[in-house]
Structure 1
Amino acid sequence: MLQILEKVLDDNQRQQIIDALTQDNDHWQDGKLTAGASAKEKKNNWQLSRDHPAYAALANTGMAALKAHPVFMSAALPKTFMPPLFSQYGVGQEYGLHVDNALQTHPDTQQWLRTDLSLTLFLNSPEDYVGGELVIADDYGEHAVKLAAGDAVLYPSTSLHRVNSVQSGQRLAMVTWVQSLVRSDEQRQILHDLDISHILLRQKLQQLNHQAIDNGLVAKELDNLNKSYHNLLRLWAEC
């Protein structure tokens, strides 16, 4: 499942992050330092050091916005997050085709995290740079993703993907990984479809026919749909 998340960050949040990232060049480090063995030679970018004085505040802003985004929470069903990476791609920089490590060590807890989902949050406008598309491969081909500032893409970490070379300008993004309560991408998709369908149906029926809702003419069917969602979640979740 490839899921586009619109307006994760509002303009103020995004600008605060960009201002902090562009004010200090002393805390950028080679992106190879966080790449796995097989991806290290393919990775050519800069990443903000976690020692940057503003890193914690930037990370908190980005992660809080994600957790407040209803589509993200429904689609990801997150259990654990990796602390985010803030990346910068300048002219000629890219990240060749690779797959993310299946297991990563959380830098704070030193606990293993299984990477079920990868997320890229685009921080600056696509008009600010040429190239730099995130290209995700799946059974249906390759999907080039270059989103509006503040939007994000969520996709299975099992996917091969790359970041195309930046031809001009600068690409800024936040990246993180999620261990989900539900390991299977197929099961997460079913749950997400049920959840969104239940929410949208209830909203539409409330708008169209308050009397039917009040009289229980359709409420029972909505309750059964909600019951199916939670019983499947109960069956599949790994807490």
Structure 2
Amino acid sequence: MSDSTQKLQNLMQQVGITSFKALSRTAGVSERQILRLRQGKLEQMRLDVLLKLAQVLQIPLNELLDTFLILSTPHTPQQTPEEIVDLKKEYDRLQLQLEQQREILQQEFQQASLQLLESLLLQWPTVAQKAQENPQLPAVKIVPLVQKSLEKLCQAWGIEAIAPVGSELPYNPQLHQLMDGTAQPGETVKIRYTGYLQGEKLLYRAQVIPIQNDATLLRR
């Protein structure tokens, strides 16, 4: 196993990604790009690919560069001082280029998010004002506006609810968090607050209660 592959696997383990295929799917990059990183061919990878991998691995982009540029560069006694200086200049140039690319991608991300939330941004201030003027305004008229915007955002980001609120299903401690009482894996519990997954990554565990505790909790 190469040093680059081992280092990449260590970073993946820290964020709960168990395979290179899962990393490819979560980051939205091809498996060939990941293979290049494992082979130490950092200079052959596109900037947007490196940025996506850094975000999924939850490390700064410069840290990703430092790690794999060092691993992919043979620092041997045969290198002349001039070659080392040239290498440092190329490294600095690449860092600057990546930082500029990061800013561009961040702006594009913000713009895309604003488009998804457009209806909420434009209509929510008016809805909130109407609610203040009329406290008796039924919530059922407000919920669809917020729900539709959130559904569009989650769909665009690949975020899925673990289960609908109120559903009953077997208890899974990896996906569920007990709010009250106790339950053994496989026993029926009820979803009180939904949790979310993004691909294979767990964002939030769903909060659940055992069925026998449901009536007691509702009376509180």
Bucket of the pairwise TM-score, normalised by the shorter protein: under 0.3
TM-score, length basis structure 1: 0.23
Q: Which has a greater percent of helix?
A: 2
Structure 2 length-normalised TM: 0.25
